[in-house]
Structures are given as C-alpha cells and as structure tokens.
Amino acid sequence: MDYEKEKKKLLSAKTPEQYIEFSIKSKLEGPKKSSITTEWLNKSGYSIDDIKYARNRHPFWREKRNKGSYERNSRRLEYHNYYKTDEKITWDEAKLSKFYDLNQEGNADHELARIFKTSIPAVNHIRRKFRFSTILLELEKKKPSKAAVIKLSGHSESVLKRLIKEKGKK
C-alpha cells in the first residue's frame, strides 16, 4: 500500500461527505487516517463537527452504529430496572412533583429510574405525559407551570393525546 497515494486521495476531498467516503475506502490504519484528518481540516477550513455530521449520516456508519442496538438497549433496560417488587407504583402528586424537579435538573433516565425504584420505560412514560401536558397548556394559551403540568399528568397518555388533537384543530 502506498501511504503517500492514499494520503493524497484523502486530502483531495472537497467536502466532509467526500472525505468520509474516501476514508471508508482507504486502506490506511486508524492512527494514520487521524493525522491526515487533522491536516485535511486545517487545509479545508471545515471543523471536526462537520466531519462528525457527515459521518453520522453516512449509510456505512449508520449501519455499523445500529448493529447490536437491540441487544445493547435490552441489556441497558434490564441493568437499570429498579422495579423489583410486585407492588404497583402509584404516581401521586408528591412523586410527580419530585420527578418534575429532578427532570428539570437534567437527570438521566437511569438516574430517575433508580431514585423512583422503577424502570426506564416508566420514566419515559412520565416524561411523555409531562411533554403532552405542556403542549396542551400551550395550545390553551396557558403558562405551563409546574402545578398545571403535574395536574394534567394525572390523565392517561391517550387522553392527553386526544385533547391535544382536539385543541390543535381549533
């Protein structure tokens, strides 16, 4: 393999998308490509974010990233399942209020699951109810205050969706 030839080809790329395409087809090893990438970025005026953006949209990397995603997600959900009892969790106003505050602080779904001794899907369910409640309040031209969001979150997701659909038509 001719290093200079491969390097020249990579450096000839005009766009981040073209650079990613050439990089995938290149026979060079990772560390060598990395130093050439830095050189290409300096020469072209593009940023590393431009490269990341192009890479995330390339079919090769999409497929590679998605391989095993079902298994990874299943392991993650099982690992962070803190719901270890037969008792049904009651999401009363106090729990919803605490959840609202912790969610506003930007806690990750697995952290909220651990705190509330529940599962990640349950955390995402409450987040959706909060989001639907906020949307509904905005459609009604009301301020989505904590109290109002929590009050509406007492309804089921399907009720909230139906109300949003009805308000959206007006």
Based on the fold, state whether residues 110 and 51 are members of the same structural domain: no
Instruction: Please give the residue that has the higher pLDDT: either 82 or 47.
Output: 47
Asked if the model's pLDDT at residue 101 lies above 80, the reply is yes
| Domain membership of residue 27 as a residue range | 3-66
How does DSSP classify residue 9?
H
What pTM was computed for the model? Answer: 0.61
Q: Look at residues 66, 99, 115 and tell me which one is the last residue of a structural domain.
A: 66
Q: Is 139:101 a contact under the CB 8 Å cutoff?
A: no
Instruction: Mention every residue, 6+ apart, whose C-beta is less than 8 A from residue 19.
Output: 10, 13, 37, 40, 44, 51, 54
Average pLDDT of the residues in 47-70: 89
Average pLDDT of the residues in 89-117: 93
Q: How far apart are the C-alpha atoms of 121 and 9, rounded to whole Å?
A: 47
Residue 131 lies in a domain: yes
Asked if the model's pLDDT at residue 85 lies above 80, the reply is no
Based on the fold, state whether residues 52 and 86 are members of the same structural domain: no
CA distances, 18 to each of 9, 11, 42, 56 (Å): 10, 10, 16, 13
User: 59-82 as b/e, with b when 16 or more CB fall inside 10 Å?
Assistant: eeeeeeeeeeeeeeeeeeeeebbb
Average pLDDT of the residues in 109-120: 92
Q: What per-residue confidence (pLDDT) applies to 1?
A: 61
How does DSSP classify residue 90?
P
Residue 120 lies in a domain: yes
Average pLDDT of the residues in 13-29: 92
CA dihedral 106, 109, 110, 112 (to 10 degrees): 70
